Structure 1
């Protein structure tokens, strides 16, 4: 038994692809609601809300340190910095 032309049009309208990426409209809108979180910054340039001042200089001490890893002991660079005013 054949469906009327209007019923066939409605059933194919629900499977319309958007933007050629193989996603239906429902899948696309669900992905657009995902929130992307950034990782926090690793280096704090200013401590708290204290500004070091216009004539301050950043002093950095670099050195090598041994790290004990499962593959063996390795020497890695390290650096500590602070503001001198």
Structure 2
């Protein structure tokens, strides 16, 4: 992970307002894609809707490079900082 990405991760936790659920899912998916690559896990079953949503959001980024995910994560955090400033 590069320093700019690590800084964005820290800043994402310091936003003055809580992002929407969709924004949080996007942050989660971009972070996971940047740090772990493609999602290889099984889709959760049952009634764990939060885990299913997180899995699906990450899975949508399949094939995106870690570098591209880092770049998109940094840009999205900057967007959120502007939106919630």
Q: Which structure has greater strand proportion?
A: 1
- Which structure has the larger Rg? 1
Q: Which structure has greater helix proportion?
A: 2
TM over 0.5: no
Q: Normalising by structure 2, what TM-score? A: 0.20
